[in-house]
Amino acid sequence: MKLVAAAKVRRAQDAVVATRPFSETLQSVFGGLIERLGADSLDLPLLTSREVKTATLVVVTGDRGLCGGYNNFIIKKAEKRIEDLQAQGIKVEIITVGKKGTVFMNRYRKDLVVATYECGQNPSSVEATAISNTLLNRFLGDNTDTVEFVYTRFVSLIASTPSSRTLLPCSATGIETQEDEIFQLTSKDGDFSVEKTVIPAAEPQDFPSEMIFEQDPAQIINSMLPLYLNGQVLRMMQEAVASELAARMQAMQSASDNASDLEKNLSQQYNRARQAAVTQEILEIVSGAQALEE
């Protein structure tokens, strides 16, 4: 089971690396347009902050168990965030991604759930697009004022952090300056390990001042923001899946270690009991022989 989970982790990290060129290009073009127009001059719906009366939480969990406390930790994180928002008088909506979160929220927070999605072992752009379209429709339709993602951020094979990240409204100055991290699962001295690579933000693309755009650059940015949102949703789903698989690797390793310890302890107890029985039989034979001699 540990080796199976490790193979799935490798596939998950390969998927993250495969989407990196598109993300870099998008970030570069976006940064160039921001430099050309200036962040303060942008007046776009997805970049506009407003008074928060309704908040949408997207809770990302796994579809299966046998992964330690992975699902419990993220559900507790979501519950804490729901209580904090409600204490501030903010209405909360929930969108669940993953069967475990869906089952829990439908049981205890059914009145808050507005949509549910599954999260398989290999998230695709199709699934991410469906989720991002729902978020865009609710935000642009004034059904919600902010969207937060509650997911598990991958740190290492033995550590992952339940995190909350605001996805909408977007921040123009945060997109073009955002760094990225890539984790590679490797083997060293017969053990699994993770190599972390920090990738700096892509350099803004240079648009000459004499360049004439067929469309207004603000409209170009407005059309790029859904692509950026879709990429971020896919990335967070991939990171959550990688965290789940890493947690399953550790759970399977712990189960194997516990089974080995149990086998060792039972063998020791059996050997001790057998040795005691043999010793008792020898004592009985010796005592019988001494009795006959007397």
Q: What is the pLDDT of residue 186?
A: 52
Q: What is the pTM (predicted TM-score) of this model?
A: 0.74
**Encoding tokens for residue 44?**
């776009």
pLDDT of residue 205: 64
Q: Which two tokens stand for residue 178?
A: 């955002």
Local confidence band at 91 (pLDDT 50, 70, 90 cut-offs)? very high
| Average confidence (pLDDT) over 225-250 | 82
pLDDT band for position 86 (cuts 50, 70, 90): very high
- Rounded mean pLDDT of 169-193? 56
Tracing tokens 């507005």 back to the chain, one arrives at 114
Of residues 195 and 257, more confidence is placed in 257
Catalytic residue among 34, 67, 245, 252: 67
Tell me whether residue 119 is one of the annotated catalytic residues.
Answer: no
**8-24: average pLDDT:** 68
Over range 257-263, report the average pLDDT. Answer: 81
Long-range Cβ pairs for the range 87-93 (8 Å, 24+): 90/52, 90/53, 90/54, 90/55, 91/53, 91/54, 91/55, 92/54, 92/55, 92/56, 92/57, 93/54, 93/55, 93/56, 93/57, 93/138, 93/143, 93/144
pLDDT for the residue numbered 176: 45
* For residue 41, pLDDT beyond 60: no
CA torsion 86-88-91-92 (nearest 10°) is -50
